[in-house]
């Protein structure tokens, strides 16, 4: 597979903003001082959310804190939201079975209490988890179930994510016509939102599709569009995925020395965030680039570091 899949997008799109320490300090103070459970839950969720692009461990920590309080106070909607947040963090830490188990728990709870839109988000999360296990047909079914609800609700941001994930499966299956159809529908939905981050992700999806098709000029154009948006937003974590995709395209065209420049930009970000699953795949790809250059010992060192 030539492209670098962004697995954890469907219905859980990470808003493109940089970590804000002053905001995080304010939220932590709120948690300590407030006696209102709903306010404390909102602060826990915002803290977990704010660390998504900078520290997976912190995302998980605050998700679990919020989850415990939501259970204690029987605030079921927040309970589902924190389960989804926890599952996303577990997935990034490489705890794939636990992530799927967590998403399934969220889905059952959302269904029990009639949270239709939240259940759709759990469908998307389950689809993401199943993608990790290469259960493509099952994942596609969950994405379609999520999309049907989002279309009915006119939730364009979530529609964009669902179309993007469905397009990725189509790419893996080699159905490029259907993939591009889904991905351009996703871009259309993203533009309806006016949200720069959602639009950037849609460009990444489309760029990945053209990379897989070997249409590298178009692929790089789409990826660079995404990268410019993400850089302005301060979303350096997702920009690292763009760097990696660009590097893989250069590798495919035999420009491995240039590819390593982009790889080297992405690795420190994955390390800083603690995204171990993505980091491992990135190191493998760097090893492959060094092997193509005849630098076999360096390649072996990278392969053994995974």
pLDDT by residue (tens digit) across 36-86? 999 999 999 999 988 887 788 999 999 999 999 999 999 999 999 999 999
- Write the CA distances from 139 to 57, 159, 161, 166, integer angstroms: 26, 16, 14, 9
How many C-alpha atoms does 214 have within 13 Å on its Cβ side? 3
Alpha carbons 184 and 135: distance in angstroms, whole number? 24
219: nearest Cα among 263, 251, 197: 251
Provide the pLDDT for residue 19: 55
Provide the pLDDT for residue 21: 76
Residues 6 or more apart from 196 whose CB is under 8 A from it?
A: 16, 229, 232, 233
Alpha carbons 206 and 184: distance in angstroms, whole number? 7
**What residues in the chain have per-residue pLDDT under 70?**
1-20
Provide the pLDDT for residue 4: 46
Provide the pLDDT for residue 221: 97
Provide the pLDDT for residue 97: 96
DSSP E strands, 108-267: none
Cα angle 125, 90, 232; round to 5: 75
């Amino acid at each position: 597979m030539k492209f670098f899949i962004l697995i954890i997008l469907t219905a859980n799109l990470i808003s493109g903003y940089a970590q804000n320490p002053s905001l995080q300090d304010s939220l932590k103070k709120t948690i300590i001082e407030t006696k209102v459970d709903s306010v404390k839950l909102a602060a826990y969720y915002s803290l977990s959310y704010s660390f998504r692009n900078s520290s997976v461990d912190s995302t998980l920590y605050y998700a679990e804190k919020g989850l415990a309080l939501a259970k204690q106070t029987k605030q079921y909607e927040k309970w589902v939201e924190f389960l989804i947040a926890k599952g996303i963090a577990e997935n990034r830490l490489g705890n794939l079975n636990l992530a799927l188990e967590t998403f399934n728990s969220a889905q059952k709870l959302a269904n029990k209490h009639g949270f239709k839109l939240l259940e759709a988000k759990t469908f998307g999360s389950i689809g993401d988890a199943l993608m990790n296990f290469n259960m493509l047909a099952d994942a596609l079914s969950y994405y379609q179930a999520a999309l049907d609800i989002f279309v009915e609700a006119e939730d364009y941001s979530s529609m964009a994510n669902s179309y993007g994930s469905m397009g990725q499966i189509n790419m893996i299956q080699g159905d490029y016509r259907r993939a591009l159809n889904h991905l351009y529908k996703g871009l259309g939905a993203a533009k309806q939102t006016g949200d720069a981050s959602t639009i950037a992700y849609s460009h990444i999806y489309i760029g990945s599709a053209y990379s897989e098709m070997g249409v590298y000029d178009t692929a790089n154009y789409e990826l660079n569009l995404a990268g410019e948006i993400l850089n302005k937003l301060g979303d350096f974590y997702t920009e690292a995925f763009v760097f990696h995709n660009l590097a893989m395209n250069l590798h495919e065209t035999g420009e491995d020395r240039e590819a390593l420049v982009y790889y080297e930009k992405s690795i420190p970000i994955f390390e800083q965030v603690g995204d171990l699953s993505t980091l491992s795949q990135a190191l493998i790809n760097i090893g492959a680039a060094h092997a193509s250059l005849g630098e076999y010992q360096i390649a072996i060192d990278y392969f053994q570091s995974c």
